[in-house]
Structure 1
Amino acid sequence: MSCSNKLNTGIEILGKRHRNLAMQTLHKWLALIVGLQLLIWIVTGLAFNLIDEQFLDANPYRVDDKAQSFNSPLASTANLLQQYQTEGIIELKLTSVLSRAVYALTTTKQTRWFWADSLEPLSLSDAEIQAIAKGSYSGSGVISSAQILTNKTPFDASGSVAMFTTSDPLDTRIYIDTASGAVLAHQNSQSDLKDLLFMLHFMDYTPDNGIGFNHLLVQSISIGALFLGLSGIYILGHKCHQGQLSLPFIRRKTAIGKLALYTQDAQLLAEFTDLNGTYLESINRGRERLRTQCGGGGRCGLCKLRFVEQPPIPNDYDLDKLTATELAQGIRLSCQHEAHPSKLELVTKAQHRDWQKSEY
């Protein structure tokens, strides 16, 4: 073979090596990322099934809203509807705040609240907001003063959100919409665990993105799982092509002929005729003559032998464990190639010493 052909062959082998190693690296990282998320899904799903639903309840002390009867007569809504007709009225709903009737008028621009007996805009004082919080709570804790939240919250509130804390054993927190007087939610230490499990299970790491199961993280994991499968198919096909897979239910063909093994000084050590499996398996059948640390998995590189004639094409493990000089000398990993009649030599003195010890 000319120098140019050898160079082209070497470049082609290195190119395949880098491509296969890149595919294996991609497959490993995808397996780690997707596998971790699958583990989180399994663990959180199992937690939802094992933990009592009442333990995760956010509303053990919440008082349900009851139908109210109003003593004061309701004002006519004709003028109110006419005033905001140009905005495009969507809904006019009757509700109540502190046992007093309230109109909730929703237009295409916003929602406004008015006292239903006077049609004055709803405006709540701090004391009234705290009274709403107390009216929604049946626990024994003492309700604190209002704390206005300035950061983004997961609640659908029209105005600022006031939070009240209590001193009960569950550390109940009450959230009130200051614009409408609506009780947005009750939360406590146990519901915080529920929110954490939901966040992990649905990958909902952004608290203000609403409820959705088709966000970017879910899409990324789905695409990652797809490429994990495709890269696995590629690696499986590559290993099959290189003969690196050994299935127990498929009988290997026994090669007919003789395998001669020599020392580094070209002295005959042994001859083998039962050529079934790899060179390492054929040589070590009945006795460990060639020592390994990985049991023939191509990871330790201790079973390398030199092919005197016609070395096989190096596979990924050869390229990973052997130097370019060793490959050029015909050295290969004996655990990675099917045994055929051939002449081989030991590569290291340690192999010869181990061989001599195995004879005793």
Structure 2
Amino acid sequence: MQLSFWTRRAHKWLGLVVGVQALLWMISGLYMVIVPLDVIHGDHLAHVFTEPLKPGATRIAQDKLAELYPGITSVRLKNMLGKEVYEIRQGKDAALVDVTTGAKLSPLDRDTIMALAEESHVGEGSIRGIEWITKAPSEVGKRPVPLWAVHYEEAGDTTLYFSPHTGDLVARRHNLWRIFDFVWMLHIMDYDTRDNVNNTLLRIASMTGVAFALSGAWLLLHSFKRRKQA
């Protein structure tokens, strides 16, 4: 009698503790299932165009490039707005240089970023503003700054983030992504960085949920046993 009394009481309080979080798990999980992941990623808002390189361009020799920029660890030839450029890396630092003269092109200016954004963007809105960011907002995570943020006047409040050093589109953000980020925070119970799925709070909630389920299962079996005895 005493065991069933305390088990029933523990089950009730465990249900009160874990019930709200269980509801949040279900709501957030439903959102993540309903909205396709490629929509969350913003693939429908911007594409990265890679035009084939055209032969015949006069390019600076690799050894000359190494003299101009000591410590080069990699060199990549790519197209940017229909023009060939070198993307060079010196350790963690990256830069764009002219393929014919070796002149440094980065950090890219506002007009170049606007042209890159217009080339990439496939939505219906127009540019509302372009912002130079030196402190990364939470929605771009740990991506290195500075960044160019191109904001669009459209229903989803789209923002495209570009690297001023490589011209790469590093992030697409819109309202459906922001809602996903919020429900993901609720789902994993990381209210700080929103990326730690092994945090203490989630472990406690999970163990509490297991205890709630086990106590409920025991009470169910106990009720069957009592009925059989009666």
Q: TM-score, normalised by structure 2?
A: 0.70
Tell me which amino acid in the other structure corresponds to 1:40: L
| 1:76 aligns to 2:54 (yes or no) | no
1:103 corresponds, among 71, 77, 86, to 86
* Structure 1: gaps (5+ residues): 1-20, 253-360
Cα separation, partners in 2 of 1:226 and 1:27, compared to 1, 3 Å: farther
Q: Quick one: which amino acid aligns to residue 75 of structure 1? A: I
C-alpha displacement at 1:136, in angstroms? 0.9
Q: Tell me which residue corresponds to 2:206.
A: 225
Instruction: Give the RMSD, CA atoms, in angstroms.
Output: 3.9
1:103–1:38: structure 2 CA closer, same or farther, 3 Å change rule?
A: farther
Distance in 1 (CA, whole Å) between partners of 2:101 and 2:143 is: 24
Q: Which residue of 2 aligns with 1:251?
A: 229
Residue of structure 2 equivalent to 1:46: 30
Aligned to 1:249, the other structure's residue is in SS state helix
- Counterparts of 2:214 and 2:143, CA distance in 1: 50
C-alpha distance in 1, partners of 2:83/2:141?
24
Matched residue SS, 1:144: strand
Per-residue deviation at 1:249? 2.9
Q: For the Cα contact (< 8 Å) 2:135–2:145, is it kept in 1?
A: no
Closer, same or farther in 2 for the Cα pair 1:170/1:74, shift >3 Å? same
In structure 2, C-alpha distance between the alignment counterparts of 1:192 and 1:36, rounded to whole Å: 22
Q: How many residues end up aligned between the 2 structures? A: 217
The aligned runs of 1:111-126 (5 Å cut-off) are 111-123=94-106, 124-126=108-110
CA distance in 2: counterparts of 1:41 and 1:104, whole angstroms:
44
CA distance in 2, matches of 1:170, 1:225: 34
Change (3 A) 1:112 1:144: same
| Residue identity matched to 2:28 | T
Assess, with a 3 A threshold, how the Cα gap between structure 1 residues 202 and 81 changes in structure 2: closer, same or farther: farther
TM (norm. structure 1) is 0.48
Higher share in helix: 2
* Cα displacement (A) at 1:158: 4.2
Point out the structure with max Rg over C-alpha: 1
* Whole-Å separation in 2 of the counterparts to 1:73 and 1:33: 70
Matched to 1:60, the amino acid is: H
Q: Give the Cα separation in 2 of the matches to 1:232 and 1:136.
A: 50
Structure 2 residues without counterparts, runs of 5 or longer: 1-5
Structure 2 counterpart of 1:290: none
Deviation per residue, 1:264-291 (Å, 9 max, x gap): xxxxxxxxxxxxxxxxxxxxxxxxxxxx
